[in-house]
Amino acid sequence: MLPNTGRLAGCTLFITGASRGIGKAIALKAARDGANVVIAAKTSEPHPKLPGTIYTAAEEIEAAGGKALPCIVDVRDENQISEAVEKAVKTFGGIDILVNNASAISLTNTLDTPMKKVDLMMGINTRGAYLTSKICIPYLKRSKVAHILNLSPPLNLNPVWFKNHCAYTIAKYGMSMCVLGMAEEFKGEIAVNALWPKTAIHTAAMDMLGGSEVNKQCRTADIMADAAYSILIKPRSYTGNFVIDEELLKTEGIKDFDVYAVSPGHPLLPDFFLDANPDDVTSKIEEHGGTAAFKDGKSVASSTKGPVVETFTLIEKSINKDAVKSVQGVYQFVLSGSEEGTWYMDLKNDKGGVGKGDPPIKPDVVMSMDSEDFVKMFTGKMKPTMAFMSGKLKIKGNMGLAMKLEALMGRMNSKL
């Protein structure tokens, strides 16, 4: 990993959403230099599903060698941000670095995204980054360090990144456009850059949504912390850059990226907004133990049944009370192609079950895809996340439950 240099000693970082995840990892990296960290986040009381509060994060930061100032901040609230900034300046004498890390996500299409969710994403992502920057800039101008770092993607107008989650993309790209504009506006005074991961990052939210099977495809937040540190110790002339974590760290001499992997050697899930061929990634996943129960769209076990029928037969045998208890969702599959039809999987009621046609109760998740891709997905030859990112899989409904199904598939593959 990238070693600390001590160059952030005495610097004050204002980090939104720093009570857990990537924000906290960046805070801890800076703390090892002896930095002051303002933890600007909403969680003041323990969350029932997500670990960490601004106070537990403060304890970790101080244990790592830094000084911490926990502040209850909702980045949609101008008064809360202003009060936290004033408190930071009074406590530490100024602000040297702003990290706009707080973010909201809903991977839903236009008709399935309530305006409440749209407003949440726009308010936290775009408006929150803009507003926090606006309030911190007068103090950043007085600093010799003077950095703003937004955790947002490079601006990529490939329609594939818009069609399945238009509102989320707009909200994240708003953060990136802040970088584009402010880097020019404050050139010579403040460095303004964006940082984005090449792969999915393991966070507490990923634990809640995807579980261990999805996390095996992730890197730890340490890679983002190291990349952020590399940016923040650069001079103010380093500005207007849209940085990918792995690419930057390669220039720093990092060669072994397995140190950042949750499961070293396991294929990694590429992050959103970075053009890559999902089929290539799927092939790599298959090389690392993906089950191939079907070949060329035909059942190895039976030639009298179609692959979809055979797959659902095997799925039914794999469902048990533990699966129902852990998932708690009803799924509907609308299949096109050679085996067109509608199927369902009940992982919510009694012992669970599968069937042809509509489910007996309203589904929590509706998945639409080609029947051949469905078979590939349930036999380990295609990851659902890859299918979704490439447009082969359309999802309506609860995205958290969709990710839970992917985790369950990982456990099912050995039986299918």
Contacts of 85 (CB under 8 A, 6+ apart): 14, 95, 135, 136, 139
Could you confirm whether 331 is annotated as catalytic?
no
| Catalytic pick among 130, 168, 173, 331 | 168
DSSP state of 126: I
CA-based end-to-end distance of the chain: 39
Contacts of 414 (CB under 8 A, 6+ apart): 291
Strand order from edge to edge, sheet including 365-370: 353-356, 341-347, 329-336, 365-370, 394-397
Determine contact, residues 370/333, Cβ cutoff 8 Å.
no
DSSP state of 29: H
Tell me the three state secondary structure of residue 407.
Answer: helix
Tokens matching residue 353: 């079950």
Q: What is the 3-state secondary structure (H, E, C) of 196-212?
A: ECCECEECHHHHHHCHH
d(CA 242, CA 273): 12
For residue 126, CA distances in Å to 75, 179, 359, 376 come to 10, 11, 39, 37
**Residues forming the active site:** 168
